[in-house]
Amino acid sequence: MSPHSRLLTVLALLCLAPAAHAQYYGNDQDSRPVRWYVMGGYVEPVGFTGNILQGGYNFGVGAAMRQPGSPLALRLEFNYTNNNATRYLLQQAESQTGLQITGGWGETFSLSANGEYRVPFGNGSYGYIIAGIGGYYTRISLTEYGYGYVCNPWWGYCYLATGEAVVASHEVTKFGWNAGAGVSFALGGGPTLFVEARYTEISMPTNIEFVPINIGIRF
């Protein structure tokens, strides 16, 4: 193919792309301006965070607001993540506190605003990129196994009990950001299924970093 022919082909594709884009969004099945969603999945700590926290789980709820026919959407969401402490963190805590730390976990609550840009695949499916900022409340709790007498305040009797007790904790609220990508598929009757992964970073002297991989449903 000559350079002139290739140029004409590229120009033709550029001319057809807006028409295909308009045709897809003009027949958009996901046409409601506000859609609620729930999601959950696995969370993988990365960077230094991977040294102190194990893989855990994530749960989130939110609302996606979008002008019908537009590839842009605004997502407001709440997320909760939970990760058990690694042996490295437990050993470091023991050396600093002098306690016999036997367990622990880290958890993060977040509220974020995110922009989403969709790229249609056809047949009610599309890919998208997403990025946003928000507030992140993070707490790390450490426990020690022990036993002792526990007294019931209502009935007045005491008994010997064993279990994990929180002996140290640290909490902080900071701004953070996230960015990632996903794909969405239309289901029968209106709901859509989506799968996404997002890198998340919470700004601290040593940043907290993790990647939630979620499966969700929009209603």
Q: Calculate the CA 83 to chain-centre distance.
A: 13
**Is the pLDDT confidence value at 49 over 70?**
yes
Fold of 29-218: Porin (2.40.160)
Where residue 193 falls among pLDDT bands split at 50, 70, 90? very high
Predicted local distance difference test score (pLDDT) of residue 69: 87
Q: Among 10-19, 39-48, 168-177, 178-187, where is mean pLDDT lowest?
A: 10-19
Compute the distance between CA of residue 60 and CA of residue 153 in angstroms, rounded to an integer. Answer: 36
**Is the pLDDT confidence value at 206 over 80?**
yes
DSSP lists the bridge partners of residue 140 as 106, 170
3-state class of 61 per DSSP? strand
Instruction: Give 47's contacts (C-beta < 8 A, 6+ positions apart).
Output: 207, 209
Predicted local distance difference test score (pLDDT) of residue 75: 98
**Is the pLDDT confidence value at 147 over 90?**
no
Compute the distance between CA of residue 108 and CA of residue 57 in angstroms, rounded to an integer. Answer: 11
Compute the distance between CA of residue 167 and CA of residue 13 in angstroms, rounded to an integer. Answer: 64
Maximum average pLDDT range among 3-17, 49-63, 184-198: 49-63
Residues 112, 130: contact at Cβ < 8 Å? no
Look at 150 and 98; give whichever has higher pLDDT. Answer: 98
pLDDT, tens only, 77-110: 999 999 999 999 999 999 998 888 999 999 999 9
Predicted local distance difference test score (pLDDT) of residue 166: 86
For the chain, the average pLDDT equals 86
Q: Among 7-21, 45-59, 145-159, 199-213, where is mean pLDDT lowest?
A: 7-21
Amino acid at 33: P
Q: Among 63-77, 157-171, 181-195, where is mean pLDDT lowest?
A: 157-171
H/E run at residue 156? none
Percent of the chain with pLDDT over 70: 78
